[in-house]
Structure formats: C-alpha cells, structure tokens
Amino acid sequence: MIAVEGLSVAIGAAPVLRGVSFGVERGQIVGLVGESGSGKSMTALAVMGLLPPGAKASGRVALDGTDLLALPEAALCDVRGRQIGMIFQEPMTALNPVQNIGDQVAETLVIHRAASRSEALREARRRLDRVGLPEGRFPLTRYPHELSGGQRQRVCIAMAIALRPQLLIADEPTTALDVTTQARILDLLKGLVEEERMGLLLITHDLAVVAGMADRLAVMRAGEIVEQGPVADVLRERRHPYTRALFEASAHHPGAEARPGDTPLLQVQGAVRDYPLPRTRLFSRPLPFRAVDGVSFEVRRGESVGLVGESGCGKSTLTRAILGLEPLQAGEIRLDGQAVQAGQRMPEGLRRKMNVVFQDPYGSFNPRHRVGRLIAEPFHLTGRPADADARVAEALDSVGLSPEDRHKFIHEFSGGQRQRIAIARALIIRPELIVLDEAVSALDVRVRAQILDLLADLRARLGLSYLFISHDLHVVRAITDRVLVMQAGRIVEHGPTEKVLRAPEHPYTKDLLAAAPELEVPT
Amino acid sequence: MLRYALSRLVSLALSLLAASVVIFAVIEVIPGDPAAYMLGLNAAPETVAALREELGLTGSLWARYLDWVSGMLTGDFGLSYTYRVPVADLVVQRLGVSLPLAGYALALSTAIALPVGLWAAARRGGPVDLAVMGATQLGIAVPNFWFAMLLVLVFAVKLGWFSAGGFPGWEGGFLAGIKALTLPAVALALPQAAILARVMRSALIETLGQDYIRSARAKGLTQGQAIRRHALRNALIPVLTILGLQFSFLLAGAIIIENVFFLPGLGRLIFQAITQRDLIVVESVVMLLVFAVIVVTFVVDLAYAAVDPRLRRR
C-alpha cells in the first residue's frame, strides 16, 4: 500500500537519510528500530511531507501508486489525516491545551469536510469510546490537562484514526509512558490494526516493544536501513553486526561484581511526605496529599538497591527527602548512623555523604559553564579543596573521559557523555551513597549498557552504594542486589532482585512484570 | 470559573485597601504645607492655621485617613485646595478626555500590532519579518513626545488636516472630539504597537514550535489553519499581559503627550496639582489611577481564564 523507495533526505549539504526503502501493507505492522539520531523520525516526517524547513527529500514515497514527494502542499494536506495518520512521542504536549478533546478529535473530520460539526462530534465520541475513553468519565468537554499521559495518548490515537486512514505512523508512542500504560496502548494499536485493516509503522528504540508486536522489522542506523525482514528472522539471525550489538545491549548485564557489606549506610524509618493540595476554599486550610506513606528500608554499605514503581507513586518525592532537599512530615532518615528527624533540615555534613544523578542529561547542567566548573559544583557542600583541579581531572578520568574535557562546554558532548559528566559531578565529593534517579532511562540501549558497566565498575572500585530509581525492570535486574516495589506511596514488596523478579508475590509487582515487554529470541 | 472570579475580586479589594494606606502615608510625609504654600511667604501664622482648619488638615492621621476613605466610598473626594471646586467634578471632567484617549490609543495599537505580529511570525526570517523587526525597533526607540511633535509638524502645520492641539470638548460633537484626539492617540499608540507586535510575534513563534501544532499539521491542517485554529489562542496569553500593562500606562502615562497637545486630561491635572501642592487632588487622582490599574488587572485575569481552561479551576 505504501512503498518507500530510495528515500534520501538532506538538510543543507548534510545527508540525514540515505536510500531508505521499505513498504507497509494493509493490516501489517512494520517496526522501525534504531537509536536516537538514526533517522527514524525523519523517515516518518518525510512520508508525512512534514520535513523541517531546509530539508530536501528525493526518491519515491508511493501511496497506492501516487508519489507523495511530488504532490503539492495542498494535496498533501488532504492526504494527512485522511489517508495517513500520525501520533507522536510526547502525549503531554501533543494536544492543544486550550481546546477540549472533543473539538480536537472532531477537527480531523471537519478539516477534511468529511462531516458537519455536530456529526463530527458524534463521530469523535465513537472514536474516543473505541480508544478506551468512555463517555461517563471522559466527556467531549474534557481538556487535555485533566487527563493522564496514557489517556492523552489515547486522544491522539483517536485524532489520528478519526478518518480511518490506511496507514498510521506511531513515532515512539509509548516511550514517555509507564510499562503498564505502554502495554495497554500497544494492545490498543494492535487491535485497531486488525479491526480497521490499517498498516502501522511503529517507530521505537526498544527492540522488545516491536519484537512482541511487529510482522516485519527494519533496523536503522545513521540514516540507512541496515537490515530488514520478517521480525522472527531478523531477531533470530541478526545478520548485521549492528543488529547484534543492539540486541546484546538490550539484555546487557554488567560483569563486575561487588560484595555488599553488612553495615547499614542509609536507614529510612516510617518516612512520610505530605503535599498541600490546591485550596478548595479561599480561607480554609488546603488538604494534604500523602505522597510517601510510612516508607521504611535500608541500604547497606556497598549495596545497590532498586526502587521501582510507576510515575506518581512517590519515588521522586522520597528521593528528594532522602537527599535532604525537603523535610519529612514524620519518620526519620539515618545516614551513616546520624539521624535526621521529621521537620528537621539535613545538616550539610550529612548531605555531602551522598550525591545524585538525574534522568535528563540535557537539562541538568547550566549550559554557560565549562565542564570543569560544572563538575566542581558539589564543592559548595564541602568547601573547595586545594587540589580541586586535580580532583576534577581524576573524576573525569574515572568516568572514562579525558581531563582535557573540563575546558569544554556541555553542548559539545553526546547524551551518554553528559551522563558520564553527571556521574563525575556526583563522584567529586567522594560520597558513599549515589542516588540514581532514572539515570539511564533517557539513553540509547548501547550507551545505556556502557553506563551500566561504568556504574558497576565504580561500585566495585570505590565501594559505593547505589539507590537506583527506575521504571525499567530490565535495568533494575542488571544492576541491583535488592529491589523495593513502590505503589501509591508505600513499599508493597521488597527482597533480593532476582527473587522478586522471578517469583513476585504482590499483585502489583506481577502486573508490572507482565506489562514489561520481553525481548525473546524466536526459535 | 465563578469561584476564580470571586477570589480575584477579594484580592482586588485587598489591593485597593493596601494602596489607599500607602498613598495616604506617602502624601503625609511629603514636606510642604499646602496652606502655607497657598498663602505665600509672608502669611501670618494665624491665617495659615485658619486655612489649615478649613482645608481639613488638622486632626489625627487616623481620623483623616478614615475621613478620606469614607468620603471616596460615597463619591466625595473633597475640595481642591487651589481651584476650590469638588475634586470629583475635576476628575470626571478630565476623565472625559483621558479615558477616550487611552481607549483610542489602545484600539489603534492593538489593531496595528496583532496583524503585524501575526504576519511577521508566519513569515519568520523572511523579508517581511526583518522589515517588521526593524520598524518595531525604531518604534520602541523613538520617544513618543518627539514623535508627537513630528506629527504636529506634518499633519497640523504642513498639511493642516488636524489642529495642533487643544480639545473642543465633547459638546462640539463626537467627530470633532475624535479628530482632536487622533494625533495624540497615534503618538501614544505607535510605540505601544511596536512593543505589542514584538510580543505577538515572539509568542506566536514559540507557539508554532509546540508539539500540538505538529499534531494539527499531521491531521491535515495547512500552516495557516494551524495558526488560526491552534496557535493564535495560545499566543494570546502573553499578549493579554502586555495589553493590560499598556492600558494602565496609557491612562496614567499620557502626561507628556497631553502637555504637547494641550489636552485637559488627567495627566495634566496631576502635573499641575503636584506643582501647586494641591495634595487632595494628587491623592484622589493617584487613588483613581490605582483603582483603574487594579480593575484592568482584574479584567485581564478574567480574560486569561476565558482563554486558558487550565486557570479556571483555581
């Protein structure tokens, strides 16, 4: 139905896509995998005719024989939404915040003059019902900010399929979502493909997602498709070395082993964190929302403990309290034997015993400071030592970067290198505990594998303890000794990682595990 | 929505109260006794004391503050020290010029700025955009009184289309009034339009980069439809903020323009009242301006909520 032949795209003189060819038939799911920057999204935008200004496409994108690249803009507008629908990665921002969901879904029909406004709204209702947003809880007058990420992605899907297009392009549709939400959205997409006989081009960086879903698989690297074929064949044979590398990195398990000691380093006792909700009345006290509800656990010296749970379960709130950024309402945090009670500020002497690495390697650095200064930032907790420069060089060296890199700016580094710099920044004050808050979630699989190796190596060499917060069970399995499962502010299950992941006891842990896509090799 | 409006109203009343205290206190600590000033250097102390009594300048601070506030609530702003007429009459008369002037200037600047900003944003980086950016830069840089004199020179002196200044009063007919206000309104509006156009342009450009615009394009909307149906309303929020600030400025900040065109507006009234130590007039006009600014802010807050559903629940 759609045939892409020799598609090349260049921005200025720089080629972005080179001779990309693939096809999608009705009722077929084609997975397009690759790392960030490999040209997956650019391929989708080229098919949609929505390339950024300055980009030039050549080759052929034939939809039922018509070459889309040759169509004028007005004709393309008619194709978009009617024959090809598209959904994007970020459901939180993909909807217009000042228009209700009914109008946004109906707009697809109105714009293509497929229905009158009232008829379009009735069809919007039916489509929203179909994507799992029933009228009772989700009337057409809902606004996007009243919906969760998964619900918004459902609205986006309803919008994209309102006119029953032949082809749906889904660009990382579940990357920003929790595992259980991801599983439901993927189910929905699969059901729609069967029901409507649509073709689905599923773009993702996650091999496990396509493995369970696609009929065909194309692996992309640096603007080219290096391997494609029926999904079982590609996964089994892995003819191209890049496919092999991707595959191995997805299931990577760091080699270096560390022996955790027996003395407790961090002890959290009955921790409670409340947030005030927005005021409901002008002169009454706002009601509290309990984000962390009586959590207790400990991390021993040299131990790596995982904390898993979905977004909104209280992981990040708990982390902020442990780091001493916000006081507890009840309970205590004990670090290296020294206790901080509820309501107390954490003394600086204690704060310098731990440090943190955040998820976003782009947003967590001041872009106007040089790397040397960024890494030296935590010295404000300890006072700047005389050998500060040597320590910066040492920290850079220990994360596998060159000491000379301290003169560069952060934009000169890739995502993986930035995360190394973040780790160097955490190491600089020689902490005993490092809190890793989704520290590898934004990285490509191969980079992620390298960072996991680095973390394992540092732990073995320096005797560090980790509190590893993640929604990704594979990563937690790879790097932690014990795991805590958090749901709605409470720890619902804990134990040795292997045991919890192999034989979960709590129903919530079972749900999480069932939802996590598994990368299995077909035989 | 109603709750939001009510909570805004309460904060409006509180702001007014706070403003009245501050204004009263500031006027009280300003050196210079209006009675002594009015009677001249050689006045006998008894005469000054008698006049102070008559002007209501005696009594405790607290009593005078209550007097002033309760008077304002009933529409009694007191008697002007110099003109010996009720301040309320003076102010109403002057408002008859200043309010239409501010409204006129605001309408002009909005009518110019929004389409120009839209045009520039839609052709970002092109010659139209560059020309608009250059012109608005110039519009912001040129002081409005100089621009006003230029307008007088060209349209009044050379071409003779408008009179160079003065105001015939609304009794002379609506059109004559509007005609007299046109040059001052243009002089006030153009620099404001330059600022507003830039705000509109940058707000739109930012909105056009948002993910939901891409979603809209993927649904089959043309660039123009995406701007009209999605970008415009989202870009309005910063524009409303600036509009609110500009209206307050136009009402209170027209002092120089009113002087250039000899317009009997609020700006000139307050200017004269300050030089003549007519503190009761100063107090009342400042309070009135504060009231206007707060009301405009309130209206802008309501407009935000009308534009953005996310604010309605607060």
pLDDT (tens digit per residue) in A389-415: 889 998 998 888 888 898 989 888 888
- Please tell me the distance from the alpha carbon of residue B165 to that of residue B162, in angstroms, as a whole number: 8
Cβ-Cβ contacts under 8 Å, A99 against chain B: 230, 233
Q: Tell me what the mean pLDDT of segment B255-267 comes to.
A: 84
Looking at residue B253, its pLDDT comes to 65
Put simply, the chain A residues between 30 and 69 with a CB less than 8 A from any chain B CB are 48, 50
Q: Are strands A338-341 and A330-335 parallel, antiparallel or unpaired?
A: antiparallel
Between B288 and A121, residue with greater pLDDT: A121
Flag if A77 and B233 touch (Cβ within 8 Å): no
Among B215, B217, B230, B232, the residue to mutate for chain A (most A Cβ within 10 A): B215
Which residue is listed with tokens 């393309």? A76
- Please tell me the distance from the alpha carbon of residue B309 to that of residue A274, in angstroms, as a whole number: 27
Q: Read off the pLDDT band of A522 (50, 70, 90).
A: low
B122-160 per-position pLDDT tens digit: 888 888 899 999 999 998 888 888 888 888 888 888 888
B225: nearest CA in chain A?
A111
Q: Tell me what the mean pLDDT of segment A264-285 comes to.
A: 80
Alpha-carbon dihedral A201, A206, A207, A212, rounded to 10 degrees: -70
Q: Are strands A2-11 and A55-63 parallel, antiparallel or unpaired?
A: antiparallel
- Please tell me the distance from the alpha carbon of residue A10 to that of residue A142, in angstroms, as a whole number: 41
First to last CA, chain A: 30
Between A251 and A209, residue with greater pLDDT: A209
Rg, Å, chain B Cα set: 24
CB of A81 less than 8 A from some CB of B: yes
B7: nearest CA in chain A?
A282
Residue A523 has pLDDT above 60, yes or no: no
Please report whether residue B299 resides in a domain.
yes
Flag if B234 and A282 touch (Cβ within 8 Å): no
What number is the ipTM of this complex?
A: 0.82
Q: Are strands A14-24 and A2-11 parallel, antiparallel or unpaired?
A: antiparallel
Alpha-carbon dihedral A327, A329, A334, A340, rounded to 10 degrees: 60
Rg, Å, chain A Cα set: 25
Q: CATH code at B302?
A: 1.10.3720.10
A127-168 per-position pLDDT tens digit: 999 998 998 889 999 999 888 888 999 999 999 999 999 999
* Most confidently predicted of A46-50, A88-92, A361-365, B275-279: A46-50
CB of B210 less than 8 A from some CB of A: yes
Residue A344 has pLDDT above 90, yes or no: no
Residue A116 CA to its chain's centroid (Å): 39
Q: Tell me what the mean pLDDT of segment B263-268 comes to.
A: 85
DSSP A516: S
Q: Give the pair of three-digit tokens for residue A292.
A: 């962390």
Residue A108 Cα, gap to closest chain B Cα (Å): 6
A208-246 per-position pLDDT tens digit: 888 889 999 999 998 999 999 999 999 888 889 998 888
Between A363 and A198, residue with greater pLDDT: A198
A19-59 per-position pLDDT tens digit: 999 999 999 999 999 888 888 999 999 999 999 888 899 99
Please report whether residue B21 resides in a domain.
no
Put simply, the chain A residues between 95 and 124 with a CB less than 8 A from any chain B CB are 95-100, 107-108, 111-112
CB of B212 less than 8 A from some CB of A: yes
Cβ-Cβ contacts under 8 Å, A108 against chain B: 219-220
CB of A147 less than 8 A from some CB of B: no
Flag if B220 and A73 touch (Cβ within 8 Å): no
Please report whether residue B15 resides in a domain.
no
**Of residues A47, A44, A7, A20, the one with CA closest to residue A219:** A20
Task: Find the helix packing angle between A445-462 and A415-427, rounded to 10°.
Answer: 20
Choose among A48, A278, A282: nearest Cβ to B218: A48
Residue B261 has pLDDT above 80, yes or no: yes
Looking at residue A444, its pLDDT comes to 84
Looking at residue B201, its pLDDT comes to 93
Q: Give the pair of three-digit tokens for residue B218.
A: 């993927």
B214: nearest CA in chain A?
A94
Residue B28 has pLDDT above 80, yes or no: no
- Bridge partners (DSSP) of residue A335 are A266, A338
How many domains are contained in chain B? 1
Cβ-Cβ contacts under 8 Å, B225 against chain A: 111
Q: What angle do CA A30, A32, A38 make, to 5 degrees?
A: 165
Buried b (16+ CB within 10 A) or exposed e, A475-489: bbbbbbbbbbbbbeb
Q: Read off the pLDDT band of B313 (50, 70, 90).
A: low
A144: nearest CA in chain B?
B310
Q: Read off the pLDDT band of A433 (50, 70, 90).
A: very high
Residue A194 has pLDDT above 50, yes or no: yes
- How confident is the prediction for chain B on average, in pLDDT? 84
- Please tell me the distance from the alpha carbon of residue B48 to that of residue B46, in angstroms, as a whole number: 5
Cβ-Cβ contacts under 8 Å, B210 against chain A: 93
Flag if B218 and A86 touch (Cβ within 8 Å): yes
- How confident is the prediction for chain A on average, in pLDDT? 89
Among B212, B225, B304, B314, the residue to mutate for chain A (most A Cβ within 10 A): B212
- Please tell me the distance from the alpha carbon of residue B214 to that of residue A95, in angstroms, as a whole number: 10
CB of A282 less than 8 A from some CB of B: yes
Task: Find the helix packing angle between A101-111 and A117-130, rounded to 10°.
Answer: 120
**Of residues A208, A137, A206, the one with CA closest to residue A176:** A206
Flag if B222 and A98 touch (Cβ within 8 Å): no
Per-residue HEC secondary structure of A112-150 comes to CCCCCHHHHHHHHHHHHHHCCCCCCCCCCCCCHHHCCHH
B36-80 per-position pLDDT tens digit: 777 777 777 787 777 777 766 777 778 888 888 888 888 887 777
Q: Tell me what the mean pLDDT of segment A503-510 comes to.
A: 93
Put simply, the chain B residues between 166 and 185 with a CB less than 8 A from any chain A CB are none
Residue A464 Cα, gap to closest chain B Cα (Å): 41
Which amino acid type is present at position A332? E
Residue B313 Cα, gap to closest chain A Cα (Å): 9
Cβ-Cβ contacts under 8 Å, A50 against chain B: 214, 217-218
Residue A301 has pLDDT above 80, yes or no: yes
- Please tell me the distance from the alpha carbon of residue A263 to that of residue A320, in angstroms, as a whole number: 24
Q: Name the maximum alpha-carbon separation found in chain A.
A: 74
Q: Alpha helices, DSSP H only, in A197-305?
A: 207-211, 231-237, 241-250
Flag if A97 and B221 touch (Cβ within 8 Å): no
Among A98, A156, A281, the residue to mutate for chain B (most B Cβ within 10 A): A98
**Contact status, residue A275 vs residue A327, Cβ threshold 8 Å:** no
**In terms of residue numbers, what domain contains B238?**
87-311
Residue A280 Cα, gap to closest chain B Cα (Å): 8
Please report whether residue B297 resides in a domain.
yes
Flag if B222 and A73 touch (Cβ within 8 Å): yes
Pick the CATH number of A2-250 from 3.30.365.10, 3.40.50.11540, 3.40.50.300, 3.30.450.20: 3.40.50.300
Flag if B225 and A48 touch (Cβ within 8 Å): no
Looking at residue B272, its pLDDT comes to 84
Q: Read off the pLDDT band of B314 (50, 70, 90).
A: very low
Choose among A111, A143, A282: nearest Cβ to B309: A143
CB of B225 less than 8 A from some CB of A: yes
A104: nearest CA in chain B?
B216
B306: nearest CA in chain A?
A98
- Please tell me the distance from the alpha carbon of residue A499 to that of residue A492, in angstroms, as a whole number: 15
DSSP A286: P
Share of chain A above pLDDT 90, in %: 49
Q: Give the pair of three-digit tokens for residue A194.
A: 């069967």
Flag if B234 and A98 touch (Cβ within 8 Å): yes
Residue B131 Cα, gap to closest chain A Cα (Å): 21
Looking at residue A388, its pLDDT comes to 87
B164-210 per-position pLDDT tens digit: 777 877 787 888 888 888 888 898 889 889 999 999 999 999 999 89
B219: nearest CA in chain A?
A81
Residue A490 has pLDDT above 90, yes or no: yes
B6: nearest CA in chain A?
A282
Distances (CA, A) of A173 to A38, A88, A149, A176, A287: 17, 6, 11, 8, 35
Query: Please, is A440 exposed, middle or buried when counting C-beta atoms within 10 Å of its C-beta (0-12, 13-18, 19+)?
Result: buried
- Please tell me the distance from the alpha carbon of residue A469 to that of residue A453, in angstroms, as a whole number: 17
Q: Give the pair of three-digit tokens for residue A301.
A: 């010296």
